[in-house]
Amino acid sequence: MKDGKFLTLAIESSCDETSAAVLAEGRTVLSNVISSQIAVHTAFGGVVPEIASRHHLQNMNGVVKQAMEEAEVSFSEIDLIGVTNGPGLIGALLMGVATAKALSFARGIPLVGVNHMHGHISANFIAYPELEPPFLCLIVSGGHTNLVQMTDYNQCRVLGSTRDDAVGEAYDKVARVIGLGYPGGPKIDKIAAEGNPDAIAFKRVYLEKGSLDFSFSGLKTAVLNYLNTERQAGRSINTADVAASFQAAVVDVIVDKSMEAAEMTGQSKLVLAGGVAANSRLRRDLQRECSLRGIDLYVPQPILCTDNAAMIGCAAYYKYKAFGPDDLYLDAYPDLAI
């Protein structure tokens, strides 16, 4: 029911989740339907872009319809359509953008393109209705690793980024080499709970002093080298110990750099965003360090951390309020900067 509220229909299809959501007043989720393609891509050990695009095409209309039905609203009540238009897989993004543009044109509803990373950050506005910028945000996803300072709802300053692999990418690659399969993040998280994080001393990579950038590709190679050495020596490999030790090396660096960023910027609010924000060790260690320093940590529930359209709807609302609509020339940009 509309009840005089501003309603946003949002669409997300940047990778392997087809999702549609309806939000009231930008922050209240009326529906958030997510159709995951994980089962389809598992056989290939990762997301196959062409297959992802085809599945978005098959699933999109049904997902949008379900989101509208669950929210109990009609298209005539929708005030805004928000859609992810980058960064992501180009074919996958285009499915969402084409759907949003068609609906906008057919129904005369204003349209706004949303940066997927702003969407991840905005998941926190849904999870924490009282949260307002400015704050520090740690974005850890399959494609990105950034420390940013959000100065208002639509503006951010990038303080640090990965120079090679994104943290989720490192999790997925390491999971593959230790035989856990795809998607690697949640599987490493789970098995690491049974392992010893101090079993293998993987090097923590901090880069130059004062830098808030990250580098994870060396760690991935270190895991590979460890496995090769052990196999060649005929020793058995304890997968849980490798997972736990890898995870400890990743999380230690992320936590230290986040604390350094908080100190450098003087921010007392740290907000987590992206799929890897679902990681249990990262949540636990960040909470411990934040408590010691009097920093408030904001962590959305896992369903809002991984790709979903509700976060896109929230970001769309604030972008539209500040800058108005985009036109129907809206395009998809695989490398759209944060």
Q: Which residues contact ligand KG4 (rule: CB under 6 A)?
A: 15, 141-143, 168, 171-172, 183-186, 189, 274-276, 278-279, 306-307
In the complex, minimum distance from the CB of residue 211 to Zn ion, in angstroms, rounded to a whole number:
25
Cβ proximity to Zn ion, 172 vs 307, nearer residue: 307
Cβ proximity to Zn ion, 141 vs 258, nearer residue: 141
In the complex, minimum distance from the CB of residue 164 to ligand KG4, in angstroms, rounded to a whole number:
15
Q: Which chain residues interact with Zn ion by CB under 5 A? A: 141, 307
Sign of CA dihedral 47, 49, 54, 57: positive
- Nearest C-alpha neighbor of 252 from the set 207, 209, 286, 297: 286
* Amino acid residing at 311: M
Q: Which partner in ligand KG4, Zn ion, none is near 86 (CB below 5 to 8 A by kind)?
A: none
Beta strand pairing status for 17-24 and 28-36?
A: antiparallel
Cβ proximity to ligand KG4, 24 vs 309, nearer residue: 309
In the complex, minimum distance from the CB of residue 116 to Zn ion, in angstroms, rounded to a whole number:
6
In the complex, minimum distance from the CB of residue 120 to ligand KG4, in angstroms, rounded to a whole number:
6
Cβ proximity to ligand KG4, 159 vs 278, nearer residue: 278
Q: Which partner in ligand KG4, Zn ion, none is near 306 (CB below 5 to 8 A by kind)?
A: ligand KG4
Q: How far is CA 332 from CA 49, 97, 258, 329, in A?
A: 15, 7, 31, 10
Q: Which partner in Zn ion, ligand KG4, none is near 113 (CB below 5 to 8 A by kind)?
A: none
Q: Where are the alpha helices (DSSP H) in the chain?
A: 38-42, 49-71, 90-107, 116-127, 167-177, 184-192, 217-232, 239-265, 280-293, 302-305, 309-323
Q: Which partner in Zn ion, ligand KG4, none is near 279 (CB below 5 to 8 A by kind)?
A: ligand KG4
Cβ proximity to ligand KG4, 171 vs 318, nearer residue: 171
- Residue count of the chain: 338
Q: What is the DSSP letter of 77?
A: G
In the complex, minimum distance from the CB of residue 125 to ligand KG4, in angstroms, rounded to a whole number:
17
- HEC secondary structure over 224-273: HHHHHHHHHCCCCCCHHHHHHHHHHHHHHHHHHHHHHHHHHHCCCEEEEE
In the complex, minimum distance from the CB of residue 114 to Zn ion, in angstroms, rounded to a whole number:
12
217-232 and 167-177 are packed helices; what angle lies between their axes, rounded to 10 degrees?
A: 10
Q: Which partner in ligand KG4, Zn ion, none is near 172 (CB below 5 to 8 A by kind)?
A: ligand KG4
Cβ proximity to ligand KG4, 172 vs 285, nearer residue: 172
8 Å CB contact between 15 and 307: yes
